[in-house]
Amino acid sequence: MLPARQPRTSPNERRFGTIVIGGGYTGLAAARRIAELRPNEQVLVLEAASVGEGSSGRNSGFIINVPHNTKMGGHTSPAEVARKQLRMYDAGLRWLEQVVREHGIECGWNPIGKYHAAASEAGVENLQATLNQYREWGVAYTEFDRSALEQKLGTSYYRYGYHAPNNVFVQPAALIRGLADSLPANVVLAENEPVISLSHTAPFNVKTVHAEYTADRVVLANNGFAKALGILRDRLITIFTYAAVTPRLADTELAKLGDTDEWGVIPANRLGTTLRRIQDGRFMVRSAYSYEREQSSSDTLTLLTQSYQRRYPNMRSHQFEYVWGGTTALTRNGATFFGQLKPGLFASLGCNGAGVLKGSTYGRLLGEMALNEHSSYLADALSLEGPSWLPPEPFRRIGVVSAIKYQASQAGPER
């Protein structure tokens, strides 16, 4: 949907102060912060694809600044874990918005919040349990019954929901491209440069398909792909999820999608269907998971089309212009690994979704940690529990696939 990008090529230099592996939200935030703190030192970012072609550009464009997982934290109460995350994400969102405004990144930045909606009784119970947490955390919300939701969303499919202001909509590929193209002058970006090996002691040797580089420190920000470098293989799993977007719709069709020109819906079950009405007159549907590899394109198209038809049976057409899949890295307990793996080797891995803001926040903090800078936000991030152990294959596959099937059966009408 964006103009073709001319990727940045490999640099001639081979020695850098810091090498960042991964040009997504986490990696670019870490590189930006390190470059700001060390303006006389060069930072190399190695991106395996062209910026925006990976998960950073393939997500649904929700920037959500409330925590999804508050059950981690050792002996700390869930409420205190939530408050720590709220503090970190609020600071991260302010910083990200400042970068967008300062560099004039045209990404459709729209801080209008989001809806959560339920089509089943179990879904209603899930949403109301979330609102119990919101009240404890002091997060604002507005509840809607079926008729009020129908006015906002144009569908009577959902029986209950709420709107919360803690979300910004963006065009995610435009955002990540803008962040890449506005990096400080002492950051060197190399695209289509996948890393194939990494030494684990300083000075670090990083080998790509095209060259070998050396650095005093390395930041790993390639999420589930870190497993290919021998990192956290017993902690990370890679999940594919899927989405589709329509062509630009006629005004008569847009009138069937509620009374505002942009909105998004988060489902009441993790394996439910996410919806987004986009500023430019398109409609997006996201649903389904598969383990470690993509499911067939025909199955994906059928599932997404059916989800669209169930919610909006009166649309003239249910055809999509683009259909795609993308990866995310999950952990067993929903915790992100954040911190130092070995002296000079830092990582933020296992985003568990909501990665635009989480990646930007954790990446910035990881850049500070790599240079021995200290802050209360960094202390909060380091205090959270890390990922729990996963069993080896084939037991891991059996467990994950079984969990996906079970959750899909429980999702019911939320799919």
Per-residue confidence (pLDDT) for residue 71, from 0 to 100 = 60
CA atoms within 13 A on the CB side of 36: 14
d(CA 339, CA 220): 10
> How many domains does the chain contain in total?
2
- Do 248 and 379 fall into the same domain? no
Nearest to 302 by CA among 242, 240, 250: 242
In a domain, residue 389? The reply is no
Res 404 pLDDT > 90: no
- State the CATH number of the domain containing residue 25: 3.50.50.60
- Do 280 and 377 fall into the same domain? no
Per-residue confidence (pLDDT) for residue 315, from 0 to 100 = 98
d(CA 109, CA 63): 10
d(CA 354, CA 357): 7
> Of all residues in the chain, what percent carry a pLDDT higher than 70?
98
Residues across the chain: 415
> Angle, to 10 degrees, between the axis of helix 25-37 and the axis of helix 355-370?
30
- Do 258 and 365 fall into the same domain? no
| Residue 363, Cβ density class (10 Å: 0-12 exposed, 13-18 middle, ≥19 buried) | buried
Question: What is this structure's pTM?
Answer: 0.96
- Do 300 and 178 fall into the same domain? no
User: Which amino acid belongs to residue 324?
Assistant: W
In a domain, residue 108? The reply is no
Per-residue confidence (pLDDT) for residue 16, from 0 to 100 = 98
Return the SS3 of 343.
coil
Mean pLDDT of the chain: 95
Residue 10 DSSP class? P
| Residue 410, Cβ density class (10 Å: 0-12 exposed, 13-18 middle, ≥19 buried) | middle
**pLDDT tens digits for range 276-310:** 999 999 999 999 999 999 999 999 999 999 999 99
- Do 317 and 183 fall into the same domain? no
Nearest to 169 by CA among 247, 307, 265, 256: 265
In a domain, residue 1? The reply is no
> Of all residues in the chain, what percent carry a pLDDT higher than 90?
93
- Do 161 and 178 fall into the same domain? no
Do the beta carbons of residue 377 and residue 222 sit within 8 Å? no
pLDDT band at 96 (very low <50, low <70, confident <90, very high): very high
Q: Where are the alpha helices (DSSP H) in 296-352?
A: 297-311
d(CA 403, CA 390): 14
What's the token pair of residue 406? 């079970």
- Do 317 and 213 fall into the same domain? no
- Do 276 and 292 fall into the same domain? yes
In a domain, residue 6? The reply is no
- Do 19 and 96 fall into the same domain? yes
Do the beta carbons of residue 3 and residue 343 sit within 8 Å? no
Mean pLDDT (whole number) for 219-236: 96
Of all helices (H) and strands (E), which one includes residue 213? strand 212-220
What is the phi/psi pair of residue 371, to 5°?
-105, 15
pLDDT band at 411 (very low <50, low <70, confident <90, very high): confident
Nearest to 264 by CA among 234, 236, 295, 243: 243
Res 63 pLDDT > 80: yes
Of all helices (H) and strands (E), which one includes residue 275? strand 274-277
**pLDDT tens digits for range 228-257:** 999 999 999 999 999 999 999 999 999 999
Res 72 pLDDT > 80: no
- Do 177 and 323 fall into the same domain? no
Do the beta carbons of residue 387 and residue 331 sit within 8 Å? yes
Lateral strand order in the sheet of 263-267: 142-145, 160-164, 114-118, 263-267, 274-277, 283-291, 237-245, 322-330
End-to-end alpha-carbon separation of the chain, Å?
A: 26
In a domain, residue 89? The reply is yes
In a domain, residue 391? The reply is no
Q: Which residues contact 48 (CB under 8 A, 6 or more apart)?
A: 22, 54, 192, 193, 194, 195, 222, 225
Res 75 pLDDT > 60: no
Q: Where are the alpha helices (DSSP H) in 154-232?
A: 172-181
- Do 89 and 128 fall into the same domain? no
d(CA 257, CA 262): 9
Res 108 pLDDT > 80: yes
pLDDT band at 130 (very low <50, low <70, confident <90, very high): very high
Do the beta carbons of residue 272 and residue 304 sit within 8 Å? no
- Do 344 and 325 fall into the same domain? no
Do the beta carbons of residue 384 and residue 68 sit within 8 Å? no
pLDDT band at 354 (very low <50, low <70, confident <90, very high): confident
In a domain, residue 392? The reply is no
Q: Which domain holds residue 160?
A: 114-165+238-330+401-414
Nearest to 227 by CA among 404, 396, 10: 396
d(CA 126, CA 113): 19
Res 70 pLDDT > 70: no
**pLDDT tens digits for range 133-177:** 999 999 999 999 999 999 999 999 999 999 999 999 999 999 999
- State the CATH number of the domain containing residue 323: 3.30.9.10
In a domain, residue 10? The reply is no
d(CA 399, CA 406): 10
What angle is formed at CA 34 by the lines to CA 31 and CA 39, rounded to 5 degrees? 115
